[in-house]
Amino acid sequence: MVGATTVLTCGSSMDPRPAVAAAEAVARALQAAPCPVFGIVFSTCQYESAELAAGLSAAFGGVPWAGCCTAGVFAGRRLLRPGLVVGVLSSQTARVRVGVGGPLSDDPRGAGEQAAAAAVAGLGPLRSGTARAMLLLPDAMRGNAAEVVRGAVREAGSAWAWAGGGAGHNLNPTPTTQFAHGVALTDHVVAVALETPGALAVGMRHGWRPYGPPAVVTRASGCVVLELNGEPAYDVYRRAAHAHGDEVTVEGFGSFAVTHPLGFPQANGTHVIRDPLRVTQGGGLQCVAEVPEGCLIRVMEGNAEALVAAARSAALDARRDAGGEVGGAIVFDCISRSLVLGDAYTEELAAIEEGLGPGVPFIGCLTFGEVGTPRFGVPQFHNKTAVVLAWSR
Amino acid sequence: MVEVDEPPTYGPDDEFARLSILQELTIASTALFDPGEPLDRFLELLGARLGSPVAICIEVGADGKVRLVGDAGLSSASRSLPIAPWPQPLDTGPADIKQALPYHEVHSPDLGCWQFRLACPDRGRGTAVWLVLMFGHGAFPSSRYRSIIERLTSTLRAALRQREAAAALLAGTARLAAANADLTREIEVRERAEATLRKTEEQLRQAQKMEAVGRLAGGLAHDFNNLLMVIGGCSVVLRKQIPPGDRLREPLDLIANAAEQAGALTQQLLAFSRQQVLNPGAVDINELVAETQTMLRRMIGEDVEIVSTLDPDVGAVLADRGQLAQLLMNLAVNARDAMPDGGRLTIETARRDLDVGSTLELVGVPPGPYVLLSVSDTGVGMDAETKAHLFEPFFTTKELGKGTGLGLCTVYGTVKQSGGAIVVESEANRGTSFKIYLPSVGGSRTSEPPSVRSGGRSGPDAAVGTVLLVEDNAMVRGVLERFVVSSGYRILVAASGDEALALSAAHDGRIDLLLSDVIMPRMSGAELASKLAETRPDIAVVLISGFASTESISARSLGRRASFLQKPFTEDALAEKLRSALAPKPAR
C-alpha cells in the first residue's frame, strides 16, 4: 500500500558490461518499486557512456531518469568501485522534471540558469502541502561549478532544498558524463526538480576544523589562490603546517592537503571548504573550486573520526528536518573523504545509514564538489563535504 | 561521538568570522560603484556569507513606488512580480515586511524576517533604500552582524546614487553624442548644399558671361555681315565689269575671297551666340556618330585610337543634324590637338534621366530625359584657368595660326541653342571629357526636317515679277538692288517697313515677292510681311539678315510662302532663293 508515500527502491550491479549492468540494476530497483516516477543513476566512469545510457533507457522503459558518472557509487553501506547504482522514486503524487544546461565551460552561470529553468518549467506552480528539492549534477571538471550553482539559484530561487554533486571520475583524465533525457552528455549540468507530498530536507556537514591562522586572500584567479597576505599562497600554507610541526613539500603537497584543506568562514561559524590539489608554478594553490579574493581563509584539519561523525550529523539533520519516518535519501559525499578514510570509508556509509535510521534506503556517489545548504541557508558549491537529501515517507 | 562545527574550537572564531566577512564584503562592495557590475552579485555574496537565502535591495521612490534594484535568492518568476506601493513613512515601512512583498519565497513559513533599513533616509529626495535579509527562524548568526549590515546598507545607498549619477551622465553623454552626430550630419548636408550652390553660382556666372559674350559676338557678326554683304556684292558687280586678265582682276578676287572667308567666321560667331538658323529634327545620335567615324578617322590621324561605346537604346535628340556633325568634328579636332603623341578618343552615348538635383549642376536645363554624348581624350588636359575661358570666342591655347578660337565656342552655342547643356571634366595631364546633354525626343529614327523644296523652273526666263526690296542699310540696299535687277526682276525699293507699306499701297500692279531685312527700326521684316499679307495674300517673302535669332525668325513667322537667306550671300544665291520663292507651290 503506497498511498501518499514517497519511497526509494535501490538496485546495483558490478557487471562490467554496460547493458548488462543497466539491466540488472534497474530491474532490481524497479522490482520493488510500487509506483515508479523517476530513476536516479550513479555509475563509475569505467562504463562506455553512450552504451550505458542506451541500456538504462531500455531498462527503465517509460520511467524518466537522470544521473551522472562519479569516482565511486554506493547503495546503502555497500561501496561499488566500479559499479552502477540505481534508485527508483515511487509515489502516486510526487513529480519530477529534468533540465539540462550547457556547454558549461562556455557560460557556467548561463548553463545553471538554463538547466534550472527547464526543470522548474515542467513542474508548474507550487502545490499546497508539497515540498520541493533541486538536484544539481554539474560537470565539475569543466568551468566554474560555483557559478553553475549561482545561476541555477538565480533562476529557481533559494526556497528549495538544494543538493547535488560534481560529476567526476576515478582520478583519471577521462571526460565526465551527465545523463539526461536518455542520453550521455559531457560539459553540461543536469538539474532535477523534485516535488514530494511530504517534507524534503538537506543535511550538510564536513567535519573539518581550523588548523592554521587566518590569512587574507590577496590575489586569486578562478580556482587558484595565488597569494595570501601578499605572499605566494604555498609559502603561507607551509608555514601554517610548520607551526604545527608538520613539514610540507611541493611534491608531497597533494597527500598532505587531503587532510588539510582550506576554509573560509560563514557568519554562523561554519566554514566553506576548498580542496587544494597541487602547488602551481609561482607558489599558488590550485583548488577544486573558486576562492573569493578578499576573504580571510585558513588551513583546516580533520581526521577520520571527525569526518565520520560529520557524515552521521548530516544524515541526522536531514532526518530531523524531513520530520517523521524517512522514505529514502540521496547522498553526495566528496571523493576526498573516501581518500582520507581509505578502507574505513564504509564506516562513513554506516554512519549515514545510522543517522538516517534503520532500514532507510539510500544511494549515493563520491563527488567532485558538493552542492547544498544547511537548513534555510544559501545554496553553495562545497568541497570535502557530505550532503544528504532525505524526504519523509 | 564527536561534536562538529559548533561551537568553534580554535580561538575567538566568532570574531574571526565577523572580521573575515566584513573585510570580504567591504572589498566586494567597491564593485557596487561600478555601473557595469550587477548589484545581484554583491547580494549573492552577502546572502551566502551571512546565511540569508533571500537578500533583497529595494528603493522606495518619492511617489511611494517601490523598485527592486537587486536580489539574491528570488526565483525569476517572483522577481517579475509587481511590488505594491510602499506605506509611509519611508524609514519605518510595514511592521511585517513579509506582508509587503509579493514573493512566495518570503512567505515560506520557515523563513523569519530580519529587516535592515537605511539609517538615514534621503528626506530631501523623499526616497529610501532598504536592504531586506531573510533568515530561517533562529538562524540569524549574531547581533554583532547588525553593524556590518547597516554599514553595507549605507554603502548600497551611496552606490545607488552614484549609479544613478553615472547612468544620467551616460545618458547625457549619449544624448550629446547623438546631438553631435546630428549636428555633424547637418553640417555635412549644409556643406554639400553650399558646395553645390557655389558650383551652381559659378556655372551661372559662366553662363551669364557666355551670354554677354554671345550677344556681343552676335551683334558684331550682324554688323560685319552687312559690311561683308556690301564688300562681297560690290566685288561681284565689279567682276562682271572687269574682264579676266585685267590687272585689277586679281586684287578684286582677293577681296571677294576675303569677304567669303570673313562670312564663314561670322557664321561661327552666330552659332556661338545661338543666332544661327537651325533646321531642327529628330536625330539618331548613334547613327550620326557612326556616319562621322570615317571622316573623324581621316581628320585625327592614325596615332589616335577611336573607341565608340554607344547605348543602343539611347534614342534621338531634337537638333540640327548638320550642326551636330560639326559639333562632333570640332570636339574631335580639339581632342586630336590635345594628344600630339597619340592616345585614345572615346565617344560614348547613353540615356540619362536628370532629376532636379542633377539639373541644378547643369544650368539652364529642366529635369527630364536626356541623351548624353560624351567625347573624351587621353591628352594633356586643362588647368582651371583654361577651363574658365574654354568656350569664349577667339580663346585658344594653340600656337598662332593653328586655331581660330571659334571651334569650342561654336560647340557651346549649338548645344545651348538645342536646349542642352555641356560639362567639361579635365585635369592637367589627365585628359579631357566633354559631356553633352541633349533633350531626348524618344524614338531612334532620324526624321527629315520639314522643308519646302523648290519645284519651280530655273533659268533666266523664270525671273519674271516684281520684287519689293526693303533694307534700312543704304549700302546693302544698293547692292541688293543691283542683284535683283541683274536677275531680271522689276523692283520697288524702300528703306523701312512704313515706306514699304506706302509703296505697296501706291502700287497698282502686282507685287510678287517681298525681299526684306529682318531687323529694322520700328518694324521688323516679319511684321512687315504679316501686314503686307493682309492686302496681298499671295505675296512671297524672303527675309534676309546677318543677325537672325530663332525668336525673330521662326517657321511660324516665315509662313508657308516665306524663306530665309543668311547674310552675306552671293548674287547667285539670291537669284536661286528668289526663283525658289516664286516657284508655284504644290497644293496642300
Res B120 pLDDT > 70:
no
Q: What is the 3-state secondary structure (H, E, C) of chain A?
A: CCCCCEEEEEEEECCCCHHHHHHHHHHHHHHCCCCEEEEEEEEECCCCHHHHHHHHHHHHCCCCEEEEEECCEEECCEEECCCEEEEEEEECCCEEEEEEECCCCCCHHHHHHHHHHHHHHHHCCCCCCCEEEEEEEEECCCCCHHHHHHHHHHHHCCCCEEEEECECCCCCCCCCCEEECCEEECCCEEEEEEEECCCEEEEEECCCEECCCCEEEEEEECCEEEEECCEEHHHHHHHHHHHCCCCCCCCCHHHHHCCCCEEEECCCCCEEEECEEEECCCCCEEECCCCCCCCEEEEEECCHHHHHHHHHHHHHHHHHHHCCCEEEEEEEEEHHHHHHHHHHHHHHHHHHHHHHCCCCCEEEEEECCEEECCCCCCCEEECCCEEEEEEEC
Res A390 pLDDT > 70:
yes
> Which pTM value belongs to this model?
0.62
- Give me the residues paired with residue A139 across strands: A167
What confidence tens digit (pLDDT) does each residue in B212-241 have?
Answer: 777 777 777 777 888 888 888 888 888 888
% residues pLDDT > 90 (chain B): 16
Q: What is the mean pLDDT of residues B504-528?
A: 90
Res B91 pLDDT > 90:
no
Res B43 pLDDT > 90:
yes
Contact yes or no for B108 and A159 at CB 8 A: yes
What confidence tens digit (pLDDT) does each residue in A179-196 have?
Answer: 999 999 999 999 999 999
CA distance A84 to chain B (A): 32
Closest-CA residue of chain A to B107: A159
Q: Which of A209, A214, A380 sits opposite B16 (nearest CB)?
A: A214
The more confidently predicted of residues B401 and B345 is B345
Query: Which residues in B451-472 are b (16+ Cβ under 10 Å) and which e?
Result: eeeeeeeeeeebbebbbbbbbb
Res B386 pLDDT > 70:
yes
Given pLDDT bands bounded at 50, 70 and 90, which one contains residue A222?
confident
% residues pLDDT > 90 (chain A): 83
Residue B1 is predicted with a pLDDT of 30
Rounded Cα distance between A206 and A81, Å, is 23
Residue A207 is predicted with a pLDDT of 96
CA distance B129 to chain A (A): 22
Residue B252 is predicted with a pLDDT of 87
CA distance B158 to chain A (A): 21
**Judging by DSSP bridges, how do beta strands A224-228 and A215-221 pair with one another?**
antiparallel
Q: Does B138 touch chain A (CB under 8 A)?
A: no
Contact yes or no for A296 and B16 at CB 8 A: yes
The overall average pLDDT reported for chain B is 79
Contact yes or no for A267 and B17 at CB 8 A: yes
Contact yes or no for B50 and A270 at CB 8 A: no
What confidence tens digit (pLDDT) does each residue in A273-288 have?
Answer: 999 999 999 999 999 8
Q: What is the mean pLDDT of residues A376-390?
A: 93
Given pLDDT bands bounded at 50, 70 and 90, which one contains residue B450?
very low
Res A1 pLDDT > 60:
no
% residues pLDDT > 70 (chain A): 99
Q: What is the mean pLDDT of residues A52-69?
A: 97
CA distance A378 to chain B (A): 5
Residue B325 is predicted with a pLDDT of 85
Rounded Cα distance between B66 and B46, Å, is 22
Q: What is the mean pLDDT of residues B337-350?
A: 89
Contact yes or no for B105 and A157 at CB 8 A: yes
Determine the residue among A113, A123, A158 to mutate to test chain B binding: the one whose Cβ has the most chain B Cβ atoms within 10 Å.
A158
Residue A272 burial (CB count, 10 A): 23
What confidence tens digit (pLDDT) does each residue in B475-512 have?
Answer: 888 889 888 988 889 999 999 999 999 999 998 889 99
B375, B335 Cβ separation under 8 angstroms: yes
ipTM of model: 0.91
Peptide bond into A82 cis (omega under 30): yes
Residues on chain A touching B11 (C-beta within 8 angstroms): 210
Q: Which of residues 75-134 of B touch A (CB under 8 A)?
A: 75-78, 104-105, 108, 110-111
**Judging by DSSP bridges, how do beta strands B368-377 and B343-354 pair with one another?**
antiparallel
Among A325, A338, A317, A330, residue whose Cα is nearest residue A371? A330
Res B449 pLDDT > 60:
no
CA distances from A389 to A161, A279, A307 (A): 8, 34, 18
Res B103 pLDDT > 80:
no
Q: Which of residues 11-50 of B touch A (CB under 8 A)?
A: 11, 13-14, 16-21, 23-24, 26-28, 40, 44-45, 47-50
Residue A22 is predicted with a pLDDT of 97
Rg of chain A over Cα atoms, rounded to whole angstroms, equals: 20
Closest-CA residue of chain A to B14: A269
Rounded Cα distance between A148 and B567, Å, is 103
Contact yes or no for B4 and A214 at CB 8 A: no
Contact yes or no for B51 and A305 at CB 8 A: no
Q: What is the mean pLDDT of residues B373-379?
A: 92
CA distance A102 to chain B (A): 19
CA distances from A392 to A5, A131, A304, B587 (A): 8, 10, 30, 124
Residue B588 is predicted with a pLDDT of 45
Residue B96 is predicted with a pLDDT of 65
Res B400 pLDDT > 80:
no
CA distance B157 to chain A (A): 22
Q: Which of A209, A267, A380 sits opposite B142 (nearest CB)?
A: A267
Residues present in chain B in total: 588
Strands (E), B54-176: 54-60, 66-72, 111-117, 128-136
Rounded Cα distance between B91 and B123, Å, is 9
